[in-house]
Structure 1
Amino acid sequence: MNETVSPPDARLFLTSHCPHCPTVLAGLTQLVKEGVIGRLEAVNIEVRPDVAEALGVRAVPWLELGPFRLRGLRGPQELRQWAERAHSAEGMAEYFRELFGEGRLNEIIETVPKSPLGMDALLHLLADPEAELQVRLGIGAVMEDLEGDPALQAVAEKLGQLT
C-alpha cells in the first residue's frame, strides 16, 4: 500500500443473530491489526437502529469501507482487496462494476459527483473493451443523468478520445 495515503476506515453494521457478521467482523479486525484499515466501528442495528436508518441499511452485514458500501458476506481476502482499492480509480471502477451487476445504478449516480475518483472510474470502465453490456448501458445512464454537471463537462475531451 502507498505509504503517503492513509488506510481507509470501516464501519460494519451487524446484528446479534446474523450468521455472517462474525466472519466479516473477524476479517476486518485482522485488517485493523495489520494496519490495512485505520479504524473499525461496529454498529449493532438492534441497539442503534437510528444509525442504520440514516444510511438506509436494511440487511446485514453491511459495510462502509473507505468509499465503498458493501453488502453481504465478504471473506478476509476480499475485504483486504477492497481496502487496498479504496484510494484508486481502478478500485472505484471495480466497485461500480459490482454495483452495475447488482442493479444499484442510483448509488453510482450519487457517488460520481461526490467522489474525486468517480468520473475517472467511469472513464476507466468505458475504456475497457471487455466491459459487460450491463456496465456499458449503466455508464450511458449515469452520463445521461449527469448531463450539464461540471464533473462531466470537465472530462469531455477524454470522452472524445474514447469514442
Structure 2
Amino acid sequence: MRGVTVLVLRVILAVALVGSLVVQVVMVPLLWADLDGVNEVPRTLFAIIVIAEIITFQLCAVCVWALLDLVRRGRVFSARSFRFVDVIIGAIAVSALLTFGLAVLLAPGGIAPGVIGLLCGAALVTAGVALVVVVMRSLLRQAVDREIEAQGLRSELDDVI
C-alpha cells in the first residue's frame, strides 16, 4: 500500500474520531435534553444505544489505525493482525445487534413502520459487513500461513547453501 494512501486514510480516521468524540460529548447530551418528556427507560436505553454505537465505530477506527501501522512496517501478515481484525468483527457484530435493538425499542412508539424497517435493514446489512470481514480474516489467515511456509523454505535454503 502506498504511503499517500495510508496518510489519507489516517487523516480520514483522525477526523472521524474527533467527530465521534464531539458527538459523544456535545450531541448526546443535547439529544438527552431533547427527550426530556419521554419515559426514563426508553430515553436511557436510547442514549445507551447511541453511545455504544459510537464506541463500536471508535473501536473499528482504532483497530484500522493499528493495522495501517502494521502495513507501514510490512508486518501486516503476522499473527498480531488477527487481534485487531477480531475486534473489528466483534464491534461490527455488536453494532448490528444495537441497531436491531434500536428498532425494537422504537417499534412500540409512534415511529413510522418504514423507519423501523429501515433500521432492521441497516442491522441486516451491518451483520453482512461483519461476515465480509470474517471472509477477509480467512484470507489474511491464508496469507499468514503462506508467509510462514515461505520463511520456513527460506531458512531451509539458507541451510543448504
TM-score, scaled relative to structure 2: 0.30
Which one has a larger percent strand, Structure 1 or Structure 2?
1
Q: Which of the pair has more CA radius of gyration?
A: 2
Q: Which has the higher contact order (CA 8 A, sep 6+)?
A: 2
TM-score, scaled relative to structure 1: 0.30
